[in-house]
Amino acid sequence: MSIVTPVYNDGRYISACANSVLLQSLPDFEWLLIDDGSDIETATILADLAASDSRISILTNPVSRGPAFARNVGVAAAQGDFIAFLDADDIWDSGKLERQTAFMLENNLDFSYHDYISFEDGGGSPIARVCGPDRLTLFSHNARRGVGCLAVMLRRHIAKDGLFPSMPSGLVAEDFAAWAILVKTGYKGWRLPETLAWYRVRKRSFSSNKLRSVRSVWFIMRTLEGFSKATSAFFLASFACTTITSRIFSRLSGPRLLSAPPWY
């Protein structure tokens, strides 16, 4: 089992992330932390982490190349039969690796993902449960979405070098593009209907700019997936309807019904 985590100036978050990794009920893993040109404070924290546990390795990019490049470095170095992805500010349930690995082995899967909870940076208050489609096809991926990087596990033989494509300057959603490429190649993702992670919502994070996200997904649909303008517009509208419905349901049910992360 290999875990790939890109890190860029995430010193304030890495402790919570590390707790969730090092206390996994499945202990046989390697954790590849890719330092993407971070500041000295973050680099020092990473060095201390690596010194404290032989399962942790630090791979360093001299200058920042972005999360897609950093993840690709991790994928190329991974030695495990399975690869899981976790960003440095997100958190896993302690049973995530064990439950998801068992699910993939039981069903002979190459590609799986599970549900997760978004939560507020700072206070840790849960916001909403995010669920992807039961099966990830090209249609459900674009119309429904909801497959977060922190929830994905792949067999190493399908996670080839360059899995996460390079995006033009100012655009994001490399993970959305990666799953689209896998689905177009013929791999079908399966959902494990369990909530096994928490996604940190940072108010000023790069991906929190909704307009940028829409522009990014539009670029992926039109360029990488080859959809027409009409098809791309349909998928964006479908996703917007799903998102609004999900938010209404979350508000009606109330965040009190969702669990907060164990560390934040």
Q: What is the tens place of the pLDDT at every residue in 153-195?
A: 999 999 977 899 988 888 889 999 999 999 999 998 999 999 9
**Pick from 67-76, 118-127, 254-263: least confident:** 254-263
Q: Which helix (H) or strand (E) holds 184?
A: helix 174-185
> Is 60 exceeded by the pLDDT of residue 207?
no
Q: Which among 142, 140, 42, 153 has a CA at the least distance from the CA of 92?
A: 153
Q: Which residues, 6+ apart, have CB-to-CB distance to 249 below 8 Å?
A: none
Q: What is the pLDDT of residue 258?
A: 87
Compare 203 and 91 and report the one with higher pLDDT: 91
- Domains, the chain, in order of start with CATH, read 2-257 (3.90.550.10)
What value does the mean pLDDT take over residues 23-41? 96
| Residue 255 binned pLDDT confidence (cut-offs 50, 70, 90) | low
Average per-residue pLDDT in the chain? 90
Per cent of the chain over pLDDT 90 is 67
Q: Which segments within the chain are labelled E, that is strand?
A: 2-7, 30-36, 56-61, 82-85, 91-92, 111-120, 126-130, 135-136, 153-155, 189-201
- Which residues lie across from 190 on neighbouring strands? 112, 135
DSSP state of 35: E
- Tell me the average pLDDT across 18-34: 97
Predicted confidence at residue 6, as pLDDT, reads 97
